[in-house]
């Protein structure tokens, strides 16, 4: 859909980083006037609902410098160039949790902050996960702790404001409503 | 929580914009090594589940330059300096939809992209909304179309991949599960 399209008049890349780029576009609005748009370009990411054979969701606690605190999230990570999202999902699951899964299934994808960023998160489900011997560990600048909770416990953590990461809450709610989505 | 805290060694603001700032921090990791973090500073935002007396959710279709397309979202907007979030919510609801509500209630708040941004979205519910005569219109660089759907229709739009904005899907799922959250 291109309704209310904003035509690009100029586009300037201010910063090219390891994960994000910052781009400033001058646009022509539908009424002919002009405006500026501050845009973050992101390679996209995956997130994984990983379920143990007992139906517990595996989550990771990690420090997020952007927030200056550690929070609880489902395993996730950014796409690497040329890597298929399902491969990224399997890799991130192994590296962050030590678990593997024979069959990762794509559930849904969503934009996290369309007002300023193009980050698209692909959500996967990994059922009947099992420990991988000699699993690859997390990236060298990544430190995580594992937590395993039931769906009901996870919903309570959202309600009690202990989970406040959008993709994690989205995933837990999706799981609770999965009969509807089938 | 400060588990796995990353201590700031240096912090440089690369860009200060109208909506976002870009900041690069050099950090000391828990193992003593150093790394770089690319961080987007955002003032925070509100989003509103606006329900007509018939129980229909009001959504807006608008062009998102970051995505180069128009998408369907619930009304939302960034916080202005010194403005209470509940006031921002009422203002954005009026400006984007022409609707008002006597009693906006805070439901929950969530981080949209904690991997690189500190944006926190405060989700409000506005029940029994009514048309405001001579409502303030949207910002001069904002163009929106209104859509009104039932909760079930909204869930179907998620399932059919016609709603893929995270905060909107989060809000619809929250509404569907609200008996649980009460």
Q: In the β-sheet with B144-149, what is the strand arrangement from edge to edge?
A: B69-73, B57-64, B144-149
User: pLDDT, tens digit, for every residue of A156-176?
Assistant: 999 998 999 999 999 999 999
Contacts of A143 in chain B (CB under 8 A): 4, 29-31
Give, for A101, the enclosing helix (H) or strand (E): none
Mean pLDDT along residues B38-66: 97
Taking CB atoms and an 8 Å limit, are B66 and A114 in contact across chains? yes
Q: How far is CA B169 from the centre of its chain?
A: 11
Beta carbons within 8 Å of A10's beta carbon, 6+ residues apart: A25, A26
CB A101 within 8 A of CB A90: yes
User: pLDDT, tens digit, for every residue of A126-137?
Assistant: 999 999 999 898
pLDDT at residue A3 tops 90: no
Q: Is A118 strand, coil or helix?
A: coil
User: pLDDT, tens digit, for every residue of B113-145?
Assistant: 999 999 999 999 999 999 999 989 888 888 999
How many angstroms away from the CA of B140 is the closest CA of chain A?
9
Question: pTM here?
Answer: 0.96
Taking CB atoms and an 8 Å limit, are A70 and B40 in contact across chains? no
User: pLDDT, tens digit, for every residue of B53-80?
Assistant: 999 999 999 999 999 999 999 999 999 9
The pLDDT of residue B140 is 86
CB A108 within 8 A of CB A174: yes
List beta partners, residue B135. none
């Amino acid at each position: 859909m291109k309704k209310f399209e904003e035509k690009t008049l100029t586009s300037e890349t201010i910063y090219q980083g390891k994960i994000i780029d910052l781009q400033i576009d001058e646009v022509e609005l539908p009424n002919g006037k002009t405006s500026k748009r501050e845009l973050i370009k992101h390679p996209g990411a995956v997130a994984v609902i990983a379920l143990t054979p007992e139906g517990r969701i595996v989550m990771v606690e990690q420090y997020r410098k952007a927030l200056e605190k550690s929070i609880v999230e489902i395993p996730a990570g950014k796409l690497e160039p040329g890597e298929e999202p399902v491969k990224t999902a399997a890799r991130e699951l192994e590296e962050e949790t030590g678990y593997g899964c024979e069959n990762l299934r794509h559930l849904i994808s969503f934009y996290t902050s369309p007002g300023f960023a193009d980050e698209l998160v692909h959500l996967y489900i990994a059922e009947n996960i099992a420990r991988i011997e000699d699993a690859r560990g997390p990236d060298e600048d990544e430190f995580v702790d594992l937590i395993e909770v039931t769906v009901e416990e996870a919903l309570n953590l959202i309600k009690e404001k202990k989970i406040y990461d959008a993709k994690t809450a989205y995933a837990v709610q999706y799981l609770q409503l999965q009969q509807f989505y089938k």
